[in-house]
Amino acid sequence: MSNPRNFSTFSNDDWATYISGVGEGISTIEATQNRSSDASATEHDAILADSINSFIDHTQLKTDATLAQINQLCEEAKEYSFKTVCVRLDHVARCVAALKDTSVGVACVIGFHEGTYPTTSKVAEAQSALQAGASELDIVLNYPLLLSPVPQYSSAYSELRELRKEAGSRAALKLIIETSQLDTDQIMAACTLAHAAEFDFVKTSTGFNGHGATVEDVRLMRSVVSFLDQQEAKGRVTMVKASGGIRTWEDTRAMVTAGVTRIGASSGVAIVKEAQGKSASGKDSADHPGGY
C-alpha cells in the first residue's frame, strides 16, 4: 500500500480504506515476529533485568495524591533512574523542580482519563504542561469517536494533529488508546491515526477503565506501527507503551518481549527489585496507589 501524505484532506471513507489496507499489510510483520528465536532468552532476560529501570515511567495518577507521595515518587525515580515520572498537571512543576539536573523526565497526562474533553481543553492543558516543563505528554484518545456506527476518523485525526502542532518538538507524545474499550479493528484504527498524526508512542491504557495492557494487544499495536514505519520509509520508529496492571517482573518481561519500549507502572521499585533478584522489603503496589 502507498502511504498518503496529506491526511488532512481525508474523509471518513478515505480513512476506512486506508485503515483496511493497514490490516491487510500487517500479516507479514506478524509472521516475522512469530518466527523470532528464543534461543538466547536467558541471556536476554539478564540484560533486560539490568536495564529495566530505563523502560519505566514511574506513575502516580490518583486525583488525591499528596505532596508527600509526589515527593516520594521523585525520590524513587532519582534513586532508580527511571525514564520519567508520570503525573497529572497539578504536579508537573513540582516534579520538574525535584528532578532538575537528573536524567529523569516528567510526563503529564492530558485529557485524563475519559479522553472526551473538547480539543480546546486538551490543547490548553498541553500548553500548561509544556510551560511547566513536561518533556512528554500522555494524551487520551477520544476513543468514543471510533465506537460510533460511522467511525469519526477525521475528527479524531484533526484533534491529534492539533496537539502535535502545539507540542512541536518540545515533547514526545504518547496516545493512550484505551484498548479495553476497543476491538481489534478499532485498536488498529487508533494506532493508524496516531502514526498519521506523528505521535511518538501508542499506549495501551489509562489504568482507570477496564482491563489494562495485554500481550495480544501490544503485539497488534507493535505490528501496526512497525508496518506503517516501514511503509513511510523515513527511518521513523514509533514505539509502544504498555500500562495498566503491570506490577511484577514477569508482567514487565512479557510486555517487553511483546514489543514495548516503555512501561507505565506505579510498582516500578518492586519491579526493579524483583528483576534484580532482591527483596521488595515487604512493599507492593499498594504503597503507590497510582492507578497502574
Residue numbers annotated as active site: 138, 203, 241
Three-point CA angle 108, 191, 15, nearest 5°: 125
What is the rounded CA–CA span in Å between residue 30 and residue 130? 37
Is residue 119 a contact partner of residue 156, using CB atoms and an 8 Å limit? no
SS3 113: coil
Dist. CA 217–CA 203, nearest whole Å: 10
Contacts of 213 (CB under 8 A, 6+ apart): 179, 204, 205, 242, 243, 244, 245, 246, 255
Q: Which amino acid is at 255?
A: M
To which residue does cell 527483596 refer?
A: 279
d(CA 148, CA 62): 30
Nearest to 113 by CA among 147, 146, 86: 86
Give the separation between CA 291 and CA 202, rounded to whole angstroms: 19
| Contacts for 111 with CB less than 8 Å, ≥ 6 apart | 117, 121, 122, 125, 139, 140, 142
Q: Count how many residues are written for the chain.
A: 292
The answer to whether residues 275 and 251 touch, using CB atoms and an 8 Å cutoff, is no
